[in-house]
Amino acid sequence: MAKSGNNNVRFSSLFTPAHIICGTQLSQRDPLLLEMLKRLAMVKGIGSVDDAYKAVLERENDMPTIVGPGIAMPHARLPAINQIIVAVATSKQGIKYAPDRDPIKLIILTLAPKTAPGAYLQAMSSLAKICQDPDTANIVAQLPTAEKVWSFFDHGGLVLSDYLRACDLMTPVTVKLQEHDNLKDAIDLFVRHQVRDVPVVDKDDDFIGVVTTHELLRVCLPDYILWIEDLTPIINFEPFAEILRKESQTWLTEIMTMDYATVAENAPAAQVAKELARRKVDHAYVLRDKKLVGVISLAMFLNKILRE
What's the pLDDT score for residue 170?
A: 93
- Among candidates 111, 83, 101, 181, which has minimal Cα distance to 137? 101
Domain around 122: 9-162
Considering the domain boundaries, does residue 97 fall inside one?
yes
Considering the domain boundaries, does residue 168 fall inside one?
no
pTM: predicted TM-score of the whole model, two decimal places: 0.75
Mean pLDDT of 146-153: 96
Residues 184 and 300 occupy one common structural domain: yes
Residue, of 105 and 9, whose pLDDT is higher? 105
Residue, of 261 and 215, whose pLDDT is higher? 261
What's the pLDDT score for residue 119?
A: 82
Task: With cut-offs at 50, 70 and 90, classify the pLDDT of residue 226.
Answer: low
Mean pLDDT of 49-56: 96
What's the pLDDT score for residue 5?
A: 38
pLDDT digits (tens, 9 = 90+) for 156-213: 878 877 788 999 899 999 999 999 898 888 888 988 998 888 999 998 889 999 998 8
Residues 200 and 153 occupy one common structural domain: no
Task: With cut-offs at 50, 70 and 90, classify the pLDDT of residue 237.
Answer: low
Residue, of 29 and 241, whose pLDDT is higher? 29
What's the pLDDT score for residue 4?
A: 37
Residues 240 and 100 occupy one common structural domain: no
Between CA 203 and CA 64 the distance in angstroms is 38
Task: With cut-offs at 50, 70 and 90, classify the pLDDT of residue 128.
Answer: confident
Mean pLDDT of 27-41: 96
Residues of the chain with pLDDT > 90, as a percent, come to 57
What's the pLDDT score for residue 262?
A: 96
Between CA 75 and CA 183 the distance in angstroms is 44
Domain end call among 162, 189, 215? 162
Instruction: Using the predicted structure, report yes or no on whether residue 236 has a pLDDT greater than 60.
Output: no
Q: In this structure, what CATH number is given to the domain that contains residue 86? A: 3.40.930.10
Residues 19 and 145 occupy one common structural domain: yes
Residues 278 and 253 occupy one common structural domain: yes
pLDDT digits (tens, 9 = 90+) for 255-283: 888 889 999 999 999 999 999 999 999 99
Instruction: Using the predicted structure, report yes or no on whether residue 247 has a pLDDT greater than 50.
Output: yes
Residue, of 254 and 188, whose pLDDT is higher? 188
Residues 136 and 266 occupy one common structural domain: no
What's the pLDDT score for residue 225?
A: 54
The domain tally of the chain equals 2
Residues 187 and 291 occupy one common structural domain: yes
For 278, phi then psi, to 5°, come to -65, -40
Residues 156 and 181 occupy one common structural domain: no
Instruction: Using the predicted structure, report yes or no on whether residue 66 has a pLDDT greater than 90.
Output: yes
